[in-house]
Structure 1
Amino acid sequence: MRLLALASAAVTAACVAALDPRGAQGPLSPSAAIAPKVLIVSMFAPEDVWTERLHLTHNYTLPLLHPHFPSVHCDAAGAVCQVTTAMGEINAAVTVTALLLSPLFDLSRSYFLFAGIAGVDPHFGTTGSAALAHFAVQVALAYEIDPREAPEHWETGYFLQGTSEPNTIDGVLAYGTEVYELNTNLRDRVHAFAANVSLVDSEAAADYRAKFDYAPANEPPALFYGDVATTDVFFSGHRLGAAFANITALWTKGEGTYTMSAQEDNASFEALLRAHKIGLVDFTRAILLRTASNFDRPPPGLDALTAMRLIDSGGFAPSVDNLWVVGAPIVQGILDNWAEFEAGVPVQDGWLHADDGVGATSWGEYADSHVA
């Protein structure tokens, strides 16, 4: 077994050396590893608003990254790096895992800024708005019956695995990836860096949001606190939005509020949490920023299909711009205050992942004691 392990390590070292764009210097020693203070994770190409503006001109190609996004981009000092996972939970899990295991990087003290666009519940935000999250909840990991075949009194065909109907968690069968809790003390601290920014808007977004007859949907974009629902399904409609809001509340004992819908976050966080368990990273240094590119349901007078596919809400461009508007002062704030951030930001009392060092992977074992 020892020979096999040594052989595996030699192959890994050889691959890294071959792919290291810094030159043919052989396997890197731990002291040579790049140790970014901030690592930014994007999900698809338009979300990379960082590489050019932050002069991330040093490219490090790693095995197992997505073929469309094969490199990690860093500045000359190695203080800030960025990677793109490609869209969807599977791509996110593989890319983040590959990065975490790379000997090219020491990420043990890095802050992770997961920054991407999302759908928004119009009762909590509008297009262009930005949310900093407390929870990420994998809402579609559930049973599903086509609502046309469900009992007549059900408002949704989604219900948690192991349960017998919607809106309950009794008897739940958990996979352990359903909910991740982030460090709210860190969230509050970085919020202060971006609290006074002026968010980008557009005439097209303003015209579309005027179709809503309630706030904040029909108001200008704002920065707020809100949680993220993870599902690979792009969805639209009042009933699906209500179902996933309910699932978010169930998994978070009523503490979480569904405001944004996205694809990748729980997959990325599971990789990060497993790495945290073995000391490769500090999960308490993860930050989740999502900006709203579209509404998750139609305004009055439109149907769900039209709202999702047949009309442009005008929110895409402002949402991409606001990743930078909100994210840049967060990155700069961490860099400028590194003497404060280097040791980490203490986590809030009762943090979900503190109980056993595993956190969400054991959620199913104690769900009944954590959920109302």
Structure 2
Amino acid sequence: MKERTMPVLRAALLTTLATLPALAQAEPVKVKVFVGSMFEIGEMTGDRAGEFQYWFDDYWSDATPIEVAGAAQPVYCNDDGVCGAVLGMGKVASSASMMAILLNPAFDFSQSYYLLTGVAGTPPSRGTIGSVFWGSWLVDYDLGHRWAEGEVPEGDPLFMPRKGYEAVRLFQLDPALTARAMELSGGVTLVDSEDAKAYRLRYPDEAALAAPSVGVGTHMTGDTFFHGPGLSEEAQYIAKLYEADDYVITEMEAAALAQVIGRLHGTDRILSLRGAVNFDQGNPNETTLAHLDPAPGETAGGFDETLQNIHAVGAAVVDDMVVHWDEWAAGVPAK
């Protein structure tokens, strides 16, 4: 038995040794831009689009998926160094995927920019359905103390920051990078829908009645899907308490992702981009519960149009980075 198995083992060893040079020569993908979306509805392409599909169709339709242990979905990369993945919804799922991807030796993130993107909600006093906002600040909505109305004097805040979370509850994104992104994308033509136009008429706010536009402001990250005028005011209160810009977007991942990226590579190359597919409260004639659970035909409309707007705005920046990488590699180009 031993004499028969030795030639087989020797052949297997020689085959393994022959592949070692090729393995040793495999270089990690040098990532110029990483696009992180949070969910896809079905397939990556060809059906109803979720947050990732327009990005996939534009950048990775021919890409081979790269499986990453610990990540929710594979990573896709093109020859220009643009990579992306669906990270998962919420702080835990998205940040777990991001950490797994960042630590995977298949990728070189030493000079990467990060575009964290997806749909979101907006207060009707600050935005409207279809609008797209770059994040100037990322604020964690959940890290603090809360109590019920009636347990403090009437009119007093119902939230207080918890000590010890100062470094992870608030991130100011690089102002020069955010300003450059706004400059590159501010003139992008946005699409709208008839359903969204009709839905806006339910709100009296000037911002809610306006056509979609590109803006900048604070993105409020909460696993708590807060809703209604009271909690919207609380979110604005938290933004002001932390001396951040006006709260314009409610989402579920960005502050957590910034913490993960920051631990390994810093936060100066992060962009957060969100499009509003809903208001964070009902109209004056609608209860919060009715707005959270709308009857058939009572939804805001404009979901797909907002996805298109997010992609168009974000791609204006991604494409500039790729085309002018010699200017972007060392940092935000000077005007």
| TM-score, length of structure 1 as denominator length | 0.77
Q: 1:28 and 1:319, CA in 2 relative to 1: closer, same or farther beyond 3 A?
A: farther
Structure 2 residue aligned with 1:229: 220
Between the aligned partners of 1:123 and 1:146, the Cα distance in structure 2 is: 25
Q: 1:105 aligns with which of 100, 104, 107?
A: 107
Kindly indicate whether residue 25 of structure 2 is the aligned counterpart of residue 38 of structure 1: no
Structure 2 residue aligned with 1:323: 310
Letter of the 1:214 partner, please give it.
D
Structure 2 residue aligned with 1:263: 252
| Cα displacement (A) at 1:152 | 4.5
Structure 1 residue aligned with 2:66: 60
| Cα displacement (A) at 1:335 | 1.1
Q: 1:216 aligns with which of 178, 196, 207?
A: 207
8 Å CA contact retained: 2:327, 2:333: no
Q: Which runs of 4+ in 1 moved over 4 A?
A: 24-31
Q: 1:26 and 1:312, CA in 2 relative to 1: closer, same or farther beyond 3 A?
A: farther
Provide, for residues 321-364 of structure 1, a one-character-per-residue CA deviation record: whole Å limited to 9, x for no partner: 212121111111111211210111289xxxxxxxxxxxxxxxxx
Letter of the 2:168 partner, please give it.
T
Structure 1 residue aligned with 2:285: 301
Percent of aligned pairs sharing the same letter: 28
Q: 1:241 aligns with which of 232, 239, 242?
A: 232
Between the aligned partners of 1:344 and 1:264, the Cα distance in structure 2 is: 25
Paired residues in the alignment total 302
Kindly indicate whether residue 277 of structure 2 is the aligned counterpart of residue 286 of structure 1: no
| Cα displacement (A) at 1:244 | 1.1
Runs of 5+ consecutive residues of structure 1 not aligned to the other structure: 1-23, 162-171, 277-281, 348-372
Which secondary structure state, in structure 2, belongs to the residue aligned with residue 32 of structure 1? Answer: coil
Which secondary structure state, in structure 1, belongs to the residue aligned with residue 55 of structure 2? Answer: coil
- Bigger drift between 313-322 and 220-229 goes to 313-322
| Cα displacement (A) at 1:30 | 8.4
Kindly indicate whether residue 141 of structure 2 is the aligned counterpart of residue 139 of structure 1: yes
Q: 2:301 aligns with which of 314, 317, 326?
A: 314
Which secondary structure state, in structure 2, belongs to the residue aligned with residue 305 of structure 1? Answer: helix
Between the aligned partners of 1:187 and 1:29, the Cα distance in structure 2 is: 39
Instruction: Supply the RMSD in Å over aligned alpha carbons.
Output: 2.0
Structure 1 residue aligned with 2:75: 72
Which secondary structure state, in structure 2, belongs to the residue aligned with residue 39 of structure 1? Answer: strand
8 Å CA contact retained: 2:128, 2:208: yes
Which secondary structure state, in structure 2, belongs to the residue aligned with residue 59 of structure 1? Answer: coil
Which secondary structure state, in structure 2, belongs to the residue aligned with residue 134 of structure 1? Answer: strand
The equivalences for 1:123-134 within 5 A come to: 123-134=125-136
Q: 1:201 and 1:297, CA in 2 relative to 1: closer, same or farther beyond 3 A?
A: same
Q: 1:232 and 1:26, CA in 2 relative to 1: closer, same or farther beyond 3 A?
A: farther
| Cα displacement (A) at 1:78 | 5.0
Between the aligned partners of 2:199 and 2:129, the Cα distance in structure 1 is: 9
Between the aligned partners of 1:203 and 1:156, the Cα distance in structure 2 is: 39
Letter of the 2:280 partner, please give it.
D
| Cα displacement (A) at 1:131 | 0.4
8 Å CA contact retained: 1:127, 1:318: no
8 Å CA contact retained: 2:131, 2:214: yes
| Cα displacement (A) at 1:159 | 2.5
Between the aligned partners of 1:128 and 1:268, the Cα distance in structure 2 is: 24
Provide, for residues 197-247 of structure 1, a one-character-per-residue CA deviation record: whole Å limited to 9, x for no partner: 111211111111111112111111100111100001112111101111111
Structure 1 residue aligned with 2:55: 50
Provide, for residues 89-145 of structure 1, a one-character-per-residue CA deviation record: whole Å limited to 9, x for no partner: 001110111011110000111111111111101111101100011100002211122
Structure 2 residue aligned with 1:339: 326
Structure 2 residue aligned with 1:275: 264
Q: 1:247 and 1:109, CA in 2 relative to 1: closer, same or farther beyond 3 A?
A: same
Q: 1:143 and 1:65, CA in 2 relative to 1: closer, same or farther beyond 3 A?
A: same
Which secondary structure state, in structure 2, belongs to the residue aligned with residue 240 of structure 1? Answer: helix
| Cα displacement (A) at 1:58 | 2.2
Q: 1:140 and 1:104, CA in 2 relative to 1: closer, same or farther beyond 3 A?
A: same
Q: 1:124 and 1:29, CA in 2 relative to 1: closer, same or farther beyond 3 A?
A: farther
Which secondary structure state, in structure 1, belongs to the residue aligned with residue 71 of structure 2? Answer: coil
Letter of the 1:130 partner, please give it.
V
Q: 1:29 and 1:267, CA in 2 relative to 1: closer, same or farther beyond 3 A?
A: farther
| TM-score, length of structure 2 as denominator length | 0.85
Rg: which structure is higher? 2
| Cα displacement (A) at 1:174 | 2.6
Structure 2 residue aligned with 1:354: none
Letter of the 2:225 partner, please give it.
F
Q: 1:285 and 1:30, CA in 2 relative to 1: closer, same or farther beyond 3 A?
A: farther
Letter of the 2:31 partner, please give it.
P
Q: 1:336 and 1:302, CA in 2 relative to 1: closer, same or farther beyond 3 A?
A: same
